[in-house]
Amino acid sequence: MTNDKCTNKINTIIKAYSEEGAIETAAKILQDGGLVAFPTETVYGLGGNALNPEASAKIYAAKGRPSDNPLIVHIADTSAVYELAEDVSEKAVYLMEAFWPGPLTIIFNKKEVVPYETTGGLSTVAIRMPSHDAALKMIRESGLYIAAPSANLSGRPSPTLAEHVIEDLNGRIDMILDGGPVGIGIESTIVDMSTETPTILRPGYITKNMLENIIGHVEIDKALTCPDPSIRPKAPGMKYTHYAPKGSLAIVEDLNTPLASQAVIDKINNLVREKTAEGFKVAVLTTKDNSEKYKCDNILLLGEKAEGTTVASHLYAKLRECDALGIDFIYSESFNRDELGGAIMNRLLKAAGHCVITV
C-alpha cells in the first residue's frame, strides 16, 4: 500500500483488469488488508477481506457508510458457503445451483468465523457468487472471501463504470480494476433463506417468478411495497435514501397506465416550462420511444422501454449525469412494475425519495 502520510490520501492504482499482472496486484492488496474496487455483472464492488474486521472497518470508512449496514460476502466456489454459513437448506442449494454465478445474494445464518464487523452486527451473512470474470479471478487469486458493498460513496448512485468509482473513491482506496461498463446496472436480488419463508429483501434482475420457478412460494419484504415508514426493511441498507441525485427528482405517473401517456408527457412539459422560466436547470428522464415528445434542454435517455435491461443498465449513470450537469429539477416517466420493472421502480422511487406526481 502506498499511503501518503502528509495528506492521508492513498495513491490509488487504476488498471484494466485484463492488463498483465492486474489481478495479481489486486489479490496481493486484498491479502495485505487493503481495498480494491472491481467490476461485477451488476455494479462495481468495493472489496476487502471479509474475515478481517479491520478491512471491513476500512470499507465503511472509505464509503462513509453507516456501520449497521452489513456487507455482502463474495465467493468464487459454492463450497465456500459451508465455511461461512450454518443451516444451508435444500431450497437454498437449489437457488445456488440455478442462479450462481449470477446476480442473486442469499442470506444465511452465519458461522463464527464471519466477524460482526462484516455483518453489521447481525447473526446472518449475505453471500453471493458474481458471474464477472474479473471478480471470479480476483477472488480465486486472493484465496479469500471478499466483502464488497457497491463501490460508491454512501448515498450516491451505485457505479456502473470505473469512472464512477474514480469520481467517488479515488484517493480513498488502494486499487480500482477497470472492467468497462457493467452488464446489468442495478444491484443483485437479495433473498433471505435464514427464515421459514424465503423472502426477497431487495428486488433485482432475478425476479420473484424466477425464484418461485425453482423453490415455490417466495414472499417480498413488506417494507418494500408498503410506504409506511414505521415498517423497517429487513435489509438495513434499504432504509437509507440511497441513489439520490443532488437535484430534486420526481416521477410523473398516470394512474391508469404504467406507460407514459399523453397526460404524463403534457404534465412533464408543463413542469419543465415552469421551472425553466424560474431560472432552474431541468432534465427529463425518458426512453428512446418518447424522446421527441419533450421540450427540454436536457433529455436523458434510459434505453428502450420495451427492454427493461437497457433501462436498468443506464439508470445510475443518468442520475450521475444529472449531478454533473448541475440539474436542479429532474422529471422521470414511470415504468411497469412487473418483473425487472419492479426493481427499476424500486431504485427510481428511492432516488426520488418517493416523490410521485400523479396525473
- Interface residue list for ligand TXA (CB under 6 A): 40, 42-43, 45, 69-72, 105, 107, 119, 122, 124-126, 128, 130, 148-150, 187-188, 190, 201-202, 234-238
Sign of CA dihedral 283, 316, 56, 109: positive
Nearer CB in complex with ligand TXA: 119/332: 119
CB of 146 to ligand TXA, least distance (A): 9
Query: Which of Mg ion, ligand TXA, none does residue 56 bind (CB under 5 to 8 Å by kind)?
Result: none
Return the one option of Mg ion, ligand TXA, none that residue 286 interacts with (CB less than 5 to 8 A, by type): none
Nearer to ligand TXA, 13 or 182 (CB): 182
Q: Residue-wise over 53-62: b if at least 16 C-beta within 10 A, else e?
A: eebbebbbeb
Considering CB distances under 5 to 8 angstroms, the limit depending on partner class, which of ligand TXA, Mg ion, none binds residue 264? none
Distance set, CA 213 to CA 199, 207, 339 (Å): 14, 10, 13
Report whether 151 contacts 45 (CB < 8 A). yes
- In angstroms, what is the minimal distance from the CB of 343 to ligand TXA? 11
- Nearest CB to Mg ion, comparing residues 150 and 290: 150
Partner from ligand TXA, Mg ion, none binding residue 71, C-beta < 5-8 Å depending on class: ligand TXA
- 273: amino acid identity, one letter: R
DSSP-derived 3-state class of residue 306:
coil
Q: Quickly tell me which residue has 416517466 as its cell.
A: 333
Least CB distance from residue 164 to Mg ion, whole Å?
12
**Shortest Cβ 242–ligand TXA spacing (Å):** 8
Name, in order, each residue with C-beta under 8 angstroms of 138's C-beta and a sequence gap of 6 or more: 17, 23, 26, 27, 30, 36, 38, 47, 146, 177
Residue nearest ligand TXA by beta-carbon distance = 237
346 binds Mg ion (CB under 5 A): no
Q: How far is CA 19 from its chain centroid?
A: 26
| The C-alpha cell that represents 343 in the structure block | 426493481
Minimum distance from CB of 325 to ligand TXA (Å)? 25
Omega before 101 cis (within 30°)?
yes
Q: Which is nearer to Mg ion, 42 or 150 (CB)?
A: 150
**Cβ nearer to ligand TXA, comparing 147 with 272:** 147
Q: Which is nearer to Mg ion, 150 or 334 (CB)?
A: 150
The residue type of 48 is G
C-beta closer to Mg ion: residue 41 or 333: 41
Q: How far apart are CA 179 and CA 163, in angstroms?
A: 10
For the bound state, the minimum distance from the C-beta of residue 205 to Mg ion, rounded and expressed in Å, comes to 15
How many residues belong to the site for Mg ion (CB under 5 A)? 1
Binders of Mg ion among 135-194, rule CB under 5 A?
150
Minimum CB distance to ligand TXA smaller for 27 or for 59: 59
Report how far residue 254's alpha carbon sits from residue 264's, in angstroms, rounded to the nearest whole number: 6
Show the cell assigned to 291.
Answer: 424522446
CA–CA gap between residue 174 and residue 250 (Å, rounded) = 37
Residue 34: closest CA among 6, 17, 14, 12: 12
Cell of 220: 417480498
42 touches, from ligand TXA, Mg ion, none (C-beta below 5 to 8 Å by class): ligand TXA
Q: Which does 244 bind (CB under 5 to 8 A by kind): Mg ion, ligand TXA, none?
A: none
Which residues are at the interface with Mg ion (CB under 5 A)?
150
